[in-house]
Structure 1
């Protein structure tokens, strides 16, 4: 049995490939199968009068002259194949793989064009090509190295940059076990890594130490995770060179440890200065009270009340000396926390007891302007109080000079943002005698027998409490000293 002409026509009408029959000489459309009509959205009657430019894309490479030349090439050479972009009745372009062939009909030669819509295929191919090229660019040019590992953590694939980070080539590293190249932290076989990857919901941060043959060490840090795609699981590690960061961390750790050592060593010096400088006042005061009692006993003028008062005051001064010694011990030990929550206003009031005694002895007046709000700070009340006393005593020494007309010490407390502040002001000689930046940091003293140790000790104490001391000119003359400590709970708080 042989197929008849009608059978061939039936096959042409049933195929999903579009078929257009053009007259060889005029290139006019003579016939189109149903598949072609569906693709164009035209009926056969609508297609027949159309020319190439009516049913082709308006893009320059599909203009009418090129379409005619393509069909003529089939007339001359028997066949001609190319991609051609047609246009539907609705104006939508679609790309086709089209083959034009010369066919001899009974009534004369025709050109048969067989075509199929490949727009989706091209889009998929372009997308796959883009993805492939993008991945290749990422693997080649990204600042991070990329490794693909198998289930045994051996290298299946590695980017050129990753190979350079390991100091080798991609060819040499293929198949190598990752931990054979350098110790990983945590280990890839650890329960932490295995359980995290098994959950398929998270990644694991890895740090790897690579020791080069020349003795250099490179630190790599990366993120390891199992990526699921198309039903497959790939173990991917993205790594970067963090050598500079690790070396910086190591230097920082060394500096912190060294600073702790130097801090303790310096604290011993602070303790010696504090004991030498600060114990003198309470010990001298208690000695004065006891000598006064001795004189009254020798003169026969001592009564019971005077004896009780003198002994109480001597005991008070000795208790203060004991507090200073205990506080200095805690200051040096630097145990977990030797500080407590205190109100700077209360510390000032306690300190002013001794300041008023000194001022009264030397003919000076103390004026206090205390803020009504609390000034909560964290620290050692005895040490902070000793700083306040030292600053006030220095001011009194200026006030009592014959050249100072206003015999007044002004002490003010206030809050300045996240800082608790105390200002101590006098109208003495002012700051012309020494550069401002040497008042604390250098061993400066205006006293003939002064060593300047009081200001240095005060600076150390305040710095360890996270604060600072600043000197500035007072108006109309003299010096104003501002002591600042961070408010407890503020961002600037530094533990003692």
Structure 2
């Protein structure tokens, strides 16, 4: 087999687009260069042969001749060496290169072949990417949200610095299995969320109670989506935020709302005490009269039937009194909130008994105009009843104030309670013909410490707003059509569950 001559090797190397320099293995002088190297450096072969490192290298310490010579020497004893070198062309342009020094024992003389290629564009891109990465890390460092990437097998492949902080991880500590942070009750739910992760947009956020690596409890809100970027990135992208303070605040607000509701309920019952006492005085007095009459009849011969009739009448009056007491006790009995499907008309009917008691004492005429069709809502009946009581009692008190302040004979005090269906909401209106409020008070009537009562503090109306908004409704006030005040609230229409 005939081997190519040296001239043929030169032709082969000249055909390469990769730059090639041949250095004498001993002196390191240039003995030949291919066409690509000559064109890149801007020298002819004859001009290139006498040049030294200082004539064709960027003059900085990291590119000193001794460093390049050292790489060539190592290629003789240790095999090919890869290093970075910055060549300088005849025109003075720098060309950052990746160089590979390879020892070749040619028949004529041993040489070190240095292959190099321009990596300036790649280096610029790397520097740009490093800057972007540094900026991204800096930005993510201050985020309150963590980012993590899970492989299809559920292994944590990446977690951001902000995520490590959220999870209570020390620097350099492994994150471990994500499920280990969740309570046992939440693990199946998290697995289900990861399994159902959508491709285009993040999943709906879910909350999880966790224990951080430092042992402190907390809450996370997690969203995730599937990512498939060729073979480089595949799995689930998680965004998680520490919502411990948010959950604590919500719980504090719920507790505060419960306390306000209970306090408001008992306050309303206290306001009704006088009216209820009056209502009870009638059957109790009747009981006493019937019993005394029965005793007298028993003392007379032949009056047994009359005595029995008197005792039975006393029993009926006692039952009536017991019913009044039981109604009050059932209404104010403290119990945990329980939402249920109800007809808002029935809620008003339950509260109407107490409203009419209070109105009767104040000399106010009550008219109830119920909707002709059911008003199904999903509510805590006692709390919505409390709203009705607060609005009605406030109106009755306002009517009493207007009567006292009127310089002329007052008109008849009237209170109208209306229910109706408005669009997809059930509407309640409490309308009085009292003195009303000032024009600038309507917008803030349901804020704390705003009241239409003389000496009132507005807590009752603020409580009404709290309860209605918690049920997804709205509450407002405006002037009544014929004078006075009209307070209204809506609740979302809710179809009752199928039987």
Q: Given the two structures, how large is their TM-score scaled by the length of structure 1?
A: 0.48
